[in-house]
Structure 1
């Protein structure tokens, strides 16, 4: 069964899927729904919601600071999921959490809470592919996709194994490092993404460092869309919503020319 997230990401063949990242509770939990509705109105395909955690090993400085602001507000995973249960957002939501908060809450309870929300995807960056069975059995018979991350350094045999069973979309990490705005990418990134797209049964999205229309245009030539994180987090924090909305609408209207 094709999951809702895959269908949404694949629905527009002429334009790239734009997935935005925000930190849940940054600025206070009461603003979460307002942020989600704003991003939905800006034309994004899906929204990734980060769960604040004290040791975010994959996050760059912008997202780390956002997590610290949320932790200062004492925002928890359970509070975020409870808030999302009343969300009126129509596009798919994706939870991005390190495994520790999920274990602390309890995997069965976590998945049960997810079922009552618009969440259609789950990313756990510190859960290796070999250990995904810690949570995947709980997600069976749900519409929630466990989204794999793949790195630039993964050998082709591993890429083939990960993509073969992929759900939702492939999160293709475009750099060897943490999240954050960048001006340049590896010279082999286009070849890497094109190869992933050729073997993947689900869409391939490029993430980490995407921060300009030029980046969106670049990746639209070789994959199905992008994930934009640090730029969105920073602009929301600085309350540059008009500028951010214009940027996202322009990104969503980039034409795919593969």
Structure 2
């Protein structure tokens, strides 16, 4: 199966519940530990993994994820290191790489898409790549069998959402709140309508992310009609705050999120 097919199968295999997609910062707190954390995600019930590549100017990331990326860069983490993590985790679940445009363009879209496909990546998220500038990357990903996953937000107009949805591969990443990544005390009461708008614009699954950080919010996101739920900052914070083995800490958290989807 190519990347889009693997992603479609993961959502289908969730069997009546939303698929669980935790975020992993590659190289945080170091490369071997981040691989162990990814394995713990899968053991805890993850259906897919969003794997972040650390970058010096992560415009979409809040302070927790930004700090983790900074630490990974300080430790010398490279794109090649993160692809090694991808290669291992992708043997068990689809891995969706998340990185910024400069990292893709510096290597050229065709070469970069081939490189991540060779590492087993099923998909690619580029949060600072606008629709109008995405054609070359989309064509390169299509040729390599990698799903280029777009993002939509509460502020995305219906006509633009329709254009994004028509070109979506794998799934549509639906941002639940305006702003950067990070935990919120409460989620918006209106994101059910956002999910409905997104689903009306595309034929691929819709995953909801940003601000989701506890089992109650996971259940709320699933109840909105989302096909998938993405959790990031809460898990990255758990790694940063772990007193012992961070993999054990996140396995317990992911298990609680998985239980919230099956309750």
C-alpha distance after superposition, 1:66-109 (max 9, x if no partner): 01101101212133224534556310111100011222233333
Q: Does 2:252 align with 1:246? A: yes
The Cα shift of 1:250 comes to 2.8
Q: Which residue of 1 aligns with 2:29?
A: 27
Task: Report the Cα distance in structure 1 between the residues aligned to 2:40 and 2:236, rounded to whole angstroms.
Answer: 13
User: Which residue in 2 is equivalent to 1:224?
Assistant: 227
Match of 1:190 in 2: 192
Range that drifts further, 35-44 or 80-89: 80-89
Q: Deviations over 1:129-185 (max 9, x none)?
A: 111112111112433100010010111111111112211111000111000000123
- The two structures have a TM-score, normalised by structure 2, of 0.90
Task: Say which SS state the counterpart of residue 122 (structure 1) adopts.
Answer: strand
Deviating above 4 A after TM superposition, structure 1's stretches of 4 or more consecutive aligned residues are none
Q: Does 1:212 align with 2:221?
A: no
1:121 corresponds to which residue?
A: 123
Q: Is 2:71 the partner of 1:69?
A: yes
Q: 1:183 to 1:229 in 2, by over 3 A?
A: same
User: In structure 2, do the counterparts of structure 1 residues 77 and 241 end up closer, same or farther at CA, with 3 Å as the change threshold?
Assistant: closer
Equivalent position of 1:148 in the other structure: 150
More helix by share: 2
Structure 2 gap segments, 5+ residues each: none
**More displaced stretch, 39-48 vs 189-198:** 189-198
Tell me whether 41-50 or 105-114 shows the greater mean CA deviation.
105-114
Residue 33 of structure 1: CA displacement? 2.4
Comparing 121-130 with 242-251, greater Cα deviation is found at 242-251
Structure 1: gaps of 5 or more residues: none
Cα deviation, residue 256, structure 1? 7.1
Displacement of 1:13: 2.8
2:48 to 46, 49, 69: 46
* Alignment-derived partner of residue 57 in structure 2: 55
Contact 1:66 1:233 in 2 (8 A): yes
Structure 2 residue 240 is the aligned partner of structure 1 residue 234? no
Query: What is the RMSD of the two structures over their aligned residues, measured on CA atoms?
Result: 2.0
After TM superposition, the structure 1 stretch with the greater mean CA deviation from structure 2, 106-115 or 59-68, is 106-115
CA distance in 2 between counterparts of 1:38 and 1:172 reads: 25
Superposition TM-score, scaled by structure 1 size: 0.92
Q: Structure 1 residues 210 and 37 mapped into 2: Cα distance closer, same or farther (>3 Å)?
A: same
Deviation at 1:6, TM superposition (A): 2.1
Which 10-residue stretch deviates more, 20-29 or 122-131?
Answer: 20-29
| Secondary structure of 1:20 counterpart | strand
Distance 2:251 2:33 in 1: 17
CA contact (8 A) 2:44 2:254 kept: yes
